Structure 1
């Protein structure tokens, strides 16, 4: 019986090639989208799961309350780790402090590289269960040791044995290679961890224990922990809540610090906090793309249903004869389901081919390194289940509909589809294009929001502005000579140093006081240390007062504040006011327009700028606009090599760094636009098939109308008007849905666009235009047909 079903199905598919292509092609595209999204979701959900102790590892975070608002941060004091070990050691297996991951200049002989790495306490090797290819996990017990990833060891030493080789760290000290570990997976928090240096080396080199008079106040470090095997994450988190509060001064206790454990399982998908409460994160995108994948697959299933029921009259006599010779309805249902499953099988094979070919492009857009999980049994179980589900869903309505025909009426030729018979098909078409239009509108709003933020005034000039990270303290001691030599090249118009680039804010400090400060008010401000020419270099805009100047030696105890800071302090005439920082008075000499240094979607953070040449992290350089950028960079590199020959020359364009702030939204927008195009494509495939069927059904009507004088335009309008009406209905339904969901999405941005009516109008015009183009081919083809041929059988 099954063999007979398959034979009949194959004959039907080969006899109606266009119909088969639309069904198999549309379903394959829908399944390919669903598989790609499924792989993406799998990658997101499996983030960090490669670590053996995944369920027991956590990052130690803290909440602090500023002016009634509870803020959450991962930065903690460097003494926190030791305190947790001393007070709650039995609840933890490992506690390790570390610095912030970043690029560092490493050199071996003449080879100089800038890999990303970190300083960790030795326990990290066990916590992360590093797979050691050379040496052992105990390699960090020597304070002058370094562990390298396999890729970094290969870059430095090629096929040589790296063990016990000596590597120089930023011209500061030498380190001995005591181990090589396997590179960590791409879908993990530590994928860029290319080397590890002992934490003690960092503390000793920076003299933290000597220069920190109040170590509990400096939140500049990171802490990771692995709880004991028999411990509960939530209970341990509650235990350590007040570990910092019990150690800080009375003044700092006003910030109500609360320490808590943020589990590794939540790092990637649940790391957004609002007023101290976790409110999700990237999990929103997982749900979003999961729903999109389901809808795109549904669109393909709708095509199958529509075309199968539309061609019901073609199969009616077959059903009638089969019933007349004794076929049961259950057997007919089985036959049609077998046809559906066969189409699904062909579609699934084609979908896998599409996925394999499109994965490189998809990975590039999504910033992933996904592959089809050929060897994973779970992948095949899910795929088989997914294919069966798709086949059953897409074949359910046709099977139940076609098997319900009464043989007497069919064989007497009395089966005629009335006006109501087409209603289910029209409903399905409306659903298809409602989903497609929602995706078009959503994509347009995402890109408009990105453009809105990109066009936001940033308060300085990004054009021709670069920054160079400082890897060696040696070069800072030659700052004036370096600056003079750069200006003499003629390739540079200005140069200054600062504690962070203009696209970021690396330090937020409290302890500020000012006249009129309210009781209980807490002054936490972004703090940027700069040199004299910083303002001229980045081109900030003075609103009041003056810039820092070498003419005034007293500027070492002066500050410039931004508009947000002046507003926060309620200073009507801020220039000349005294603001204390940790008890030291500073005179406000100027107010600059707000600089967008953090998220372009958020309000500008209140910030102060102070002169401090000892707190430099980057050099800011303005390239001469009249010179070639390539030539300018070459000349700048020569000067830097003169004063710091041991470090590689590394630079960043500020406009590119600013553009990178939109990466996540742009990635979402690109993926959404691809899915929107595919949704429209699938919907139009179905529309093309229906238009073809409709034109075939009305062949004689068209012939009669042509004989009676109807023009091609008249016939085109006759055949197209029903589809245009369906598009208009789809637009009516899609508009409120799209408006609601996109309004909710925009709420997460404080700096956001207003949704304009023209976006919905444009989406409607695009959808109607695409539908008309799709239908017009068949409509015009039918209208141009020779009426003699159409009426020959009459």
Structure 2
């Protein structure tokens, strides 16, 4: 019986090659999209699965309220460590203080490289359960020890055994290699961690870290923890929530609240609004999951439509089978078997599409996905996927075709009824509703990205290069290097800054000024700069003046941005003093000498943060900011800069970043989502058009003789085209009017996440509707005009 079903299914498929190609091709595209989205979602959901203790690991986050607005982040003060260790260790297996992940220069003999890593306390390797390839797991217990990743060890030592060898860090201190750990995978929060060094070393070489041991206001550190077996994240959070507020009276006005953010939430749910968890990348998981489901649904709709549309051609087959004793269940099994065969072929093609496109998808999505050939779970899931798709695509045709009455069919009185095409019309409306909604969504995403891109950023990012200067070799050499670089002809201006142009690394509070409102809780971005900073960035001074080396008093001067002036309520800011009543780390009174134009240093989708630029007295900032000579090519300038750099720092690898590229990275996530959405939208439209093409060709085939009669009676090509096209156009117009309010509701909600956002314009929706109608007309017209141009004599010859 089964063999017979397969034969009949195969004959039907090969007999109607055009419909088979449309069916199999559409399903293959839909399944390929669903497969590749499934791999992407699995990778997102398995982020940090590399760590065996992931369910018990968390990071301590802190929420603080300034002037009614609550901000949340992982930055915590150093005294919190002792408070946790002395009062709450029953709740933890491990508590690990950590620096932020930063680049360091590592040198062994003549080899010098730059790698990123962390200073952490000695329990870190055990807590994260690093896979130690050489050496010992407790590799950072000694103050002068360092653990390297496998790739970093390879870069420094080649094939030689690195254990016990000494490397130089930042030309500042020597560290002995005690262990080599397996490279941490890409889909983890520590994929950039190429080395670990002891926390005690971090304290000993940085005076400001040493001095912050009792300073609750310095939130410059991270703390990772592993909770005890007999407790939960929620229970521990309840216990430590008010630790900072209870132990530090000065912080109470900000109502600091501590909590644990589990490792499973670091990647997908790390966004907070006003102190409350508000999602994150999980929205993209839901978005692509929905897209994948709908694209697959569109492909299944094609199968249903074409199968039911051809029902009359198989009516006699059903009638004969029923008249000789076939049960309805047997017919249902046969049609489901045909569906399974089509889906199986489609799945094989879909796998081939995924394999061929995976590298391109990885580049586009910034992933490292691999096809799981050896995964039993994947193939088991694929079998379920095939069965589910076959059932979804074949259930309606099977139930519909098997319901025909044999007497009516064989007597020739069988009619499908005037409402028999209604289900197909409904499915076409569903298809194009989804497609039009996808078009609108993709256009709005790209509009939002371009809206932020076109926002004035306050400085000239073109031709601006930044060079990190974390080594001790740079100390005291700024004036010399500035002169050397400018004299080389490759640089027109150069400055230093304590943070990169596209980031804010430090925020400070606790200042006083004339007219400060009672109880005002300020929060200001703090950047130390050399006097040439505004010139090197082409940053506009809109009031007062810039820093000048000619005025010794400028060493206590400060520049404010426009937002800071408004934020602080200063009517005439020039000459006003900003003081610091802090008794732990006081600073000299600062005089406001100028106001600079707002510049975007954080997210371009967020308002500019109030900031202050203070005089870098030592000239030892973390970055050189260089304005390239516009009369020469960038490559020429970089080559000259590298030559000069190597003359003075022969043992340090030359690193640089174009600020415009760094700024462009701020749009990377949204642009990836936009491009992927655009591709999936195009595929959804293609699948819908395939179905429409198949239906149009079938309708034209059904009405061949009618078209012949009409042409004999004088109908024009346009009359025939209009007859065949108008019903489909009506369905697409209905789809547009359903899709527009749905898309508006969904995308308006999505845009609310961005304070700086595009306004939804009517033309976006009109454009999507016109586009859908244009695609429909093109798709339908091909078959309609082809049918209209047929010689009526050929159409009527069999009568």
TM-score > 0.5 by shorter chain:
yes
Alpha-carbon offset, residue 179 of structure 1: 0.7
**Distance in 2 between the 1:211 and 1:97 partners?**
16
Tell me the distance in 2 between the aligned counterparts of 1:527 and 1:450: 28
Match of 1:776 among 772, 778, 781: 781
Out of 614, 619, 624, the residue aligned to residue 624 of structure 2 is 619
The 3-state SS of whatever aligns with 1:254 is helix
What pairs with 1:600-749 in structure 2 (closer than 5 Å)?
600-614=604-618, 616-749=621-754
Name the structure 1 match of 2:477: 478
Structure 1 residue 214: Cα displacement: 4.6
Please state how far the C-alpha of 1:738 moved relative to its aligned partner.
0.7
2:760 pairs, out of 755, 764, 772, with 755
Task: Report if the CA contact (8 A) 1:640-1:649 is conserved.
Answer: yes
Give the count of matched residue pairs: 793
Report 1:282-361 matches (<5 A). Answer: 282-361=281-360
Give the whole-Å Cα distance in 2 for the aligned partners of 1:440 and 1:559: 49
Give every structure 1 segment of 4 or more consecutive aligned residues whose post-TM-superposition deviation is greater than 6 Å. Answer: none
Question: Partner residue of 1:98?
Answer: 98
In structure 1, distance between residues paired with 2:535 and 2:32? 54
What is aligned with 2:597? Answer: 593
In the alignment, what sits opposite 1:437?
436
Q: Matches of 1:500 and 1:232 in 2, distance apart? A: 38
How far 1:112 sits from its partner (Å)?
1.4
* Distance in 1 separating the partners of 2:154 and 2:649: 26
Alpha-carbon distance between aligned partners in 1 of 2:259 and 2:449, rounded to the nearest angstrom: 34
Residue 175 (structure 2) pairs with residue 164 (structure 1): no
Q: CA deviation at 1:61?
A: 1.2
Tell which deviates more after alignment, 581-590 or 406-415: 581-590
- Measure how far apart 1:643 and its partner are: 2.8
Contact 1:126 / 1:137 at 8 angstroms: preserved in 2?
A: yes
Task: Name the CA distance, whole Å, in 1 between partners of 2:343 and 2:22.
Answer: 12
Residue 152 of structure 2 corresponds to which residue in structure 1? Answer: 152
**Contact 2:78-2:213 at 8 Å conserved across structures:** no
Aligned counterpart, 1:219: 219
Q: CA deviation at 1:645?
A: 2.3
TM-score when normalising by structure 1: 0.98
User: For 1:83 and 1:182, how far apart are their aligned partners in 2?
Assistant: 34
Q: Distance in 1 between matches of 2:581 and 2:220?
A: 17
Deviations 1:376-422 (A, max 9, x none): 22222221112111111111111111111111111122223343221
On the 8 A contact 2:555/2:617 being kept in 1, the answer is: no
Q: What is the rounded CA distance, in whole Å, between the counterparts of 1:436 and 1:445 in structure 2?
A: 14
Question: What are the superposed Cα offsets for residues 245-265 of structure 1, whole Å, 9 maximum, x if unpaired?
Answer: 2332x3333222222111111
Match of 1:26 in 2: 26
CA distance in 2, matches of 1:212, 1:413: 93
Listed one character per residue, the Cα deviations across residues 55-109 of structure 1 (whole Å, up to 9, x for unaligned) are 1101011111111222111011233223311221221111111111022111111
Structure 1 residues not aligned, in runs of 5+: none
Distance across 2 between alignment mates of 1:5 and 1:398: 16
Any conservation in 2 of the 1:478–1:643 contact (CA below 8 Å)? no
State whether residues 203 and 210 of structure 2, in contact with CA within 8 Å, keep that contact through their aligned partners in structure 1: no
Query: 1:100 aligns to what SS in structure 2?
Result: coil
Tell me the distance in 2 between the aligned counterparts of 1:171 and 1:473. Answer: 6
The whole-number CA distance in structure 1 between the counterparts of 2:261 and 2:433 is 41
Give the Cα–Cα distance (whole angstroms) in 1 for the partners of residues 473 and 798 of structure 2.
96
Determine the structure 2 residue equivalent to 1:574: 573
- Following the alignment from structure 2 to structure 1, what is the Cα–Cα distance between the partners of residues 373 and 46? 17
Report the Cα distance in structure 2 between the residues aligned to 1:582 and 1:2, rounded to whole angstroms. 88
SS in structure 2 at match of 1:171: coil
1:522: which partner in 2? Answer: 521
Unaligned 5+ runs, structure 2: 583-587
C-alpha deviation, 1:227, in angstroms: 1.1
Asked if residue 251 in structure 1 is aligned to residue 250 in structure 2, the reply is yes
1: CA distance between counterparts of 2:56 and 2:208?
Answer: 30
Deviation at 1:213?
7.7
The alignment status of 1:140 with 2:134, answered yes or no, reads no
In 2, the alpha carbon distance for the partners of 1:680 and 1:286 equals: 22
Secondary structure (helix, strand or coil) at the match of 1:253 reads helix
Q: Distance in 1 between matches of 2:31 and 2:475?
A: 58
Between stretches 402-411 and 706-715, larger displacement belongs to 706-715
RMSD: 1.4
Residues 5-52 of structure 1, C-alpha deviations (whole Å, 9 max, x = no match): 111101100100111111111111111111111111111111112211
Say which is worse superposed, 666-675 or 466-475, in terms of deviation. Answer: 466-475
2:117 maps to 117
Match of 2:395? 396
Secondary structure at 1:107's aligned position in 2? strand
Q: How many Å separate the matches in 2 of 1:79 and 1:200?
A: 15
Report the equivalent of 1:494.
Answer: 493
Show the counterpart of 2:3: 3
TM-score by length of structure 2 reads: 0.97
Contact kept? 1:216, 1:247, Cα under 8 Å:
no
**Which deviates more from structure 2 when the two are superposed, residues 638-647 or residues 533-542?**
638-647
Residue matched to 1:186: 186
Q: Give, in angstroms, the shift of residue 465 of structure 1.
A: 0.6
